[in-house]
Each structure stands twice: as C-alpha cells, then as structure tokens.
Chain A
Amino acid sequence: MGSYLHNKKLLLVDDEPELLKMIASILYNDGFENIVTASTAADAISTAKNGSPDLVVLDVMLPDGDGFSVMREIREFTNVPVIFLTAKDEAEDKLAGLGLGADDYIVKPFLPLEFLLRVHAVLRRCYKEDSPMIQLEGCTVDFSRAEVNKAGEVIPLTAKEHTLLETLARNEGRIVTVDALCEALWGDNPFGYENSLNAHVRRVREKIETNPSKPVSLITIKGLGYKLNTRK
C-alpha cells in the first residue's frame, strides 16, 4: 500500500484507552509512525490546532461532547480529512444529515484490515497530488498532466477519459459499477449513458493497453462494471 502515505500524521480520538491503543498498534504495524492520540473533545481540538494532523479518526461518543461538534470546531481552522468511528446507533443518516462533510465513517466493531483500507482510501483521495502517477502494464498515467506515456509515446487524455481512469484508479483492483462510473462522468441519475461509457472505455483502452482488443489493465466485468489493474 502506497508507502508515501505512511509519513502522514494521524490524530486518533476515542475515550476508550484500550481501543485507542489497539487502533494505534494496528496503524503502527501497517507502517504509520506519526500517530498522536486524544481521549477528550477538548484534548482533540487543541491537538488538532497545535499538532496539525493530516487525518483525524474521531469517535462520536466522547466524555465531554460528541464527535460531531468536535469536527465542527476543527473545521473552523482546518480542512483536515475526518473519519468517524461510530457505534452505528448514531445513525448513518445523522452523519449525512449533519452535512459536516466527513470523509468516511467506520462502524464499530471493525476488522483491522477493513479499518486500514478505509484510512488508506481517504488519505489517497485527499492527498492525491502526492501521487499523480500510476503504473499500468505497458504504460504510465500522469494524472496531473492528463497524459499517458506508452512506449515512449505521450498520449493526451480528454477530461472524461481522465475522470474515468481516475475513478477506476481510486478503486484500484476493485470493481466499479457502470452506474458509479456514469455518475462520476455525467452526474446524478445517469440513465442511458451505457453506450457512451462503452465508447469512452474503448478509447481509453486504445491509449493505455498494448493490445486494446485483449485488455489486461482495464478489465470488463460483464454486466457489472470495470476494474483497473495496476502494476505493483
């Protein structure tokens, strides 16, 4: 998993010291070395202010306030990404309804692997300027310049092709449904764009695949969606 992310500074907030210790150890074992913790709302806010973390993992239930108000206060001075840890009863729609713009929420209890995946996903999404390049079989994609470098040849990407590849790259190795892709390309309620999506996929393949009729990077999962395989 992208090692450049391991330099990021993480702030963990939970009132349960043992849980805090466990999350810290999960992250430490994964390679994160810059971890600070807080167990109260007040502590969390001052640490966020002085320590300028790159990501805050925030428990919703704190002894001196709730995570939602902590986030609102943090937002006053920084746009640091926030992942909520909830015990589910705080209702997902409450999180959504608050419109706080949390980057993700993780429901307790969680498996360490799942937790790490979500943390990495948020970091990757929020600090993508750190990683504007992906390596594919036979080519390199530079998102900051919207270019594909294939066998010494530089091929430009259109805006839609860029969005398509970027959406797939964010979910690298995982299937993205046609609906999600259409939504990323054409916005809400994208019905009847399947043919256009096919056309865009075809053109992207011509740019990134060595043999576009036998794709190895941008794979079709019949009826469901597409998947991008990157070279590790």
Chain B
Amino acid sequence: MKSFAKYISKRLLFFAAFVIFLLLINLLAFGLVFQDSMSEDYGENSPKRMLEEVSEALTQDGLPDNVFEKLENNHIWAMLLDDNGNSIWAAFTPKEIPAAYSLQDVALFSKGYLQDYPVFTWNTENGLLVLGYPKDSYAKITDNYYSVRSVQRMPAYFFGTLLLDLLLLFLAYYFSKQKILKNTGPIVAAVETLSDGTPAHLSVNGELSAIAESINKTSEILSRQNDARANWISGVSHDIRTPLSMIMGYAEQLQSDTHLTDTERKMTAIIIKHSERIRNLVSDLNLASKLEYNMQPISVKQENAVAIVRQAAVDFINTDIYDKYPIEWLTDEELSACLIHADRDLLKRAISNLIQNCINHNENGCTIYVSVSIEQNNCVIRVEDNGIGASDEQIEKLNTAPHYMVCDTNTTEQRHGLGLLIVKQIVDSHNGTTYIEHSTFGGFAVKLKLPM
C-alpha cells in the first residue's frame, strides 16, 4: 500500500512538468495562429510603418511612385489636413470622405473611424497626415483608458491568477489521487493478503468491479487447492491410524511375552519406538498442513500461560517413568499468572513439541529447563536443555531457512521432523515470535515471545 502511495507521489512531479509543457504548447499555438496577422499589425504594411513612410516621402510634388503604388495595392487612401482642417492633398479618397473638417471631427476620427474606415493619423510639418484603411480591416478601441490603480494592480492580478490556477490544479490532482487510492486500496490490500496465502474477498461494485471479481475468483481457486491439499493429507493420516494401532498394540503385547529371547525383545522395542515415531509424524503432518492452509480452527480465549506451560511440563514428568529427562521448572515463584490471548490446546501442543524435541535429540538423556517470564509486556516462554545442542550454522538455518514442507524448491538437505515447524506456526498464529538459540545450560534453547 505504501509503495503504491509513493508511486502516486512520483506522478506529482510528472504532473508539474506536464503543466509547464502545456503552457509552452499554448504559447506555440498562439504564435502559429497569429503569425500572419502579426505581420499585418506590426509588419511592413502596418499603419504605423505606413504613416512613417508616407509622411517621410510626402513633398510639395506629392508622393513618389513607389509609395503611391503601395497605397494603391493595399487599398489605402490618404489625405493631408492643414491647421484649419482643410484637405490640402489627397490620394484615393472615396467619395463619401469630406474635404474639410472641424476641430470636433478631427478629435473624433483620430481615435476611431471616419465613415467606418479605420483611420490613423500622423503629425507632419505640413499638416496632419490621415491614412484610411479598407473597412473591416482593423478594429480600433475607441475608449482606451485605464485608471492608474488598475494598471498598478495588473502584476498582482496576473501572478495571483497564476497561483490560484496552480492551486486549483493541484487540488484537482490531490482529490483524484485520493479517490484512486480509496478505490484501489481494498484491491491492493486483497492482493497482498492473497500473496500471504490467506483468502481474500472483495465486494464487487463500482468502476473496478472487474478487477475485484477476478481477485475473488483467484482467491477461491487458491483456497480450493489448499483445502484439497489439506484434506488429502488429513485423509491419508486418518487411514494410517487404524493399521498403526494394530502394529503398536501387538508389538507392545509381544514385548511383555516372557517366551521371547532378549534379541527378539529388543527388535520388538524398536518396532514400538518407530511406530510411535510414525504416529507423531502423522499427527504432526496433519496439524502442520491444517495450520499452513488456515484450516485449523483457533479458539482464542484469555488464558494463563503459566498454567498451560506447567501442565505441559507435568504431563511429561508423569510419563517419564525412568527419569531420564528430568524437567526443572525455573519460573519465578512469584509469577503465578501470565494472562495472554491464546488457544489453550495449541499453545500446550507447542510447548509439548519443544520438550519432545529436547528428548528426541538427546538419546542419552538431558535435563530440560522450562520457564515463563514477563519481559517488556510480552509473555516469554523458554524451553532449554543441557544436551548436545546444535552448531551456529544449524541454528542460523533453523531461524531463517523455510521448512521443506512450506518451501517450493526441492531440497536435498537432511529433513527434520515437523515439531519445530508446528511450534513456529502456532506462535505465528498468536502474533508471537520464535527464537532458536544456544542455551546457557549448554544445549539447545527455544524462546517464544507472545504479546500480552
């Protein structure tokens, strides 16, 4: 979601550049459109140039031929008025143009039109030169005055408008961005949940309904596949249980048969030991797959972690008849309760797995140290042993490398049981963290940190 917002912000720069580009385009278009009339207004035949040329060329003998022709070609008429308003020279003047003017006439036409001809005046030594351009060739502004205050306000108006425009543009940009984020937000979130492997569901309406629909469809396919996989594993493990019961049942009965030789009894013991391994594996496999595909119902309630861990430890002590794996309870006597939100059975399963892990990896026995403590508002559960432990490399791998069951690449490495994977899955489902470390007692240590 964050990266998406960042992406949108990057567009802001592009947007600003685009506004500048737009202004340049406007200028260019202006230039192209008015190129012709520009030369008309300010070029060789413009009234100002014409007035200069005619006034310079005009003598007692009239106009030289070339200027005369130029006037004719451009359909311009001309006349020279003396101080009394009488025409003393004229060229191409239409009939309706009078030959004498009063002071008022001059004042009026000098600003605008004479008989609808746009006229332009120029003061020369000999009198007032008047050029008349064809009707409808020029527009004259007859009331061209501005108050000084208005003129003074011009720059402020100009820049103010520019700023206001930019502000409005930015607001338009900002709100459309917000709208896009609002519309795409749920979709981005859904895609992110999907990539975590959890199903997503979007309500299908609005402009982006097609995307929402295909995300829902994808999610459905994914969860169907996951369900099928989990059901398959659960079915297989179910079918293994009954035959395994028979093997274990008869093997144990055989073991107590007094007619067996020592070797036969040892063989039977091995059968029992390994059937138990299969049993653990089968139930681990099923639980691990259910946790992985979110099919394990987790019922979270307020629970006392101390009581759960204590029960898990006591269950092991009660079954360890030979006292080969003594458990030391290192929880502070003062700490009788540590309340967390947890699924009692799953949390107990995690602790049992950790204790079983110590037993599995230390065939010659070891002491197991179990403790619960409160550290920085977290419930911290430690299960450690003084057994053979693990190398730095192994611990690094256990902490970081994905387990083969949840890994998509083929691994040729030695495969471990599912015990620790289940612990991690359970701790994850409780929003906790699993730390695998060296124990200060010399062996292996696992620390679970669960939020209180």
Contact = CB atoms under 8 A, between A and B. Distances in A.
B234 interface: yes
Contacts of A223: 310, 329-331, 333
B336 interface: yes
Given A29-B253, A88-B286, A19 B242 contact: yes
A133 interface: no
Interface string A23-41: 1011001000000000000
Nearest to B314: A175
A108 B241 contact: yes
Contacts of B314: 175-177, 221, 224-225
Q: Which of B245, B311, B345: most chain A Cβ within 10 A? A: B245
B421 interface: no
Contact of B237 (A19, A26, A89, A224): A89
7 contacts: A22-B249, A29-B253, A88-B283, A89-B286, A109-B249, A111-B276, A178-B336
B299 interface: yes
Contact of B329 (A87, A189, A191, A224): A224
A211 B198 CA distance: 62
Interface string A184-224: 00000101101000000000000000000000000001111
Interface in B281-340: 283, 286, 297, 299, 304, 306-307, 310-311, 313-314, 317-318, 329-331, 333, 336-337
Secondary structure of the A contact surface, majority rule: mixed
B252 A112 contact: yes
Contacts of B311: 177, 179-180
A19 B336 CA distance: 45
A23 B249 CA distance: 8
A113 interface: yes
Nearest to A85: B245
A110 interface: yes
B337 A191 contact: yes
Contact of B345 (A92, A110, A112, A225): A92
A76 interface: no
A225 B248 CA distance: 32
Contacts of A174: 318
Nearest to A93: B297
A19 B329 CA distance: 40
Contacts of B157: none
Contacts of A110: 245, 248-249
Contact of A178 (B237, B279, B310): B310
Contact of A87 (B242, B272, B317, B337): B242
Contact of A192 (B238, B252, B272, B337): B337
A108 B241 CA distance: 5
A222 B328 CA distance: 9
Contact of A25 (B253, B272, B345): B253
In the A-B complex, the 7 residue pairs with the smallest Cβ-Cβ separation, listed nearest first, are: A179-B307, A223-B329, A109-B245, A109-B244, A108-B241, A87-B241, A174-B318
B234 A89 contact: yes
B429 interface: no
Given A26-B253, A108-B242, A112-B252, 10 more contacts: A18-B246, A87-B242, A88-B283, A107-B283, A109-B247, A110-B248, A174-B318, A177-B310, A179-B307, A221-B314
B42 interface: no
A201 to B, nearest CB: 15
Nearest to B275: A109
A16 interface: yes
Contacts of A18: 246
Interface string A85-104: 00111011100000000000
A12 to B, nearest CB: 13
Contact of A191 (B234, B246, B247, B336): B336
Secondary structure of the B contact surface, majority rule: helix
Given A88-B283, A89-B234, A26 B329 contact: no
The size bracket of the interface on B is 35 or more
Contacts of A175: 314, 317-318
A4 to B, nearest CB: 23
B170 interface: no
B279 A109 contact: yes
A203 B297 CA distance: 44
A35 B374 CA distance: 52
A75 to B, nearest CB: 25
A192 B306 CA distance: 12
B250 interface: yes
A220 B286 CA distance: 38
A192 B304 CA distance: 12
A222 B329 contact: yes
Nearest to B231: A89
Contact of A26 (B247, B249, B333, B336): B249
Interface in A105-155: 107-113
A92 to B, nearest CB: 7
A222 B307 CA distance: 14
Nearest to A94: B297
Q: Which of A108, A113, A221: most chain B Cβ within 10 A? A: A108
A87 B279 CA distance: 11
Nearest to A16: B242
Contacts of B252: 111-113
Interface in B341-374: 345
A19 B246 CA distance: 6
A29 B337 CA distance: 45
Contacts of A92: 345
Contact of B245 (A108, A177, A221): A108
Interface string A59-88: 000000000000000000000000000011
Nearest to B336: A194
A108 B307 contact: no
A217 to B, nearest CB: 18
B336 A87 contact: no
A174 B244 CA distance: 28
A164 B318 CA distance: 19
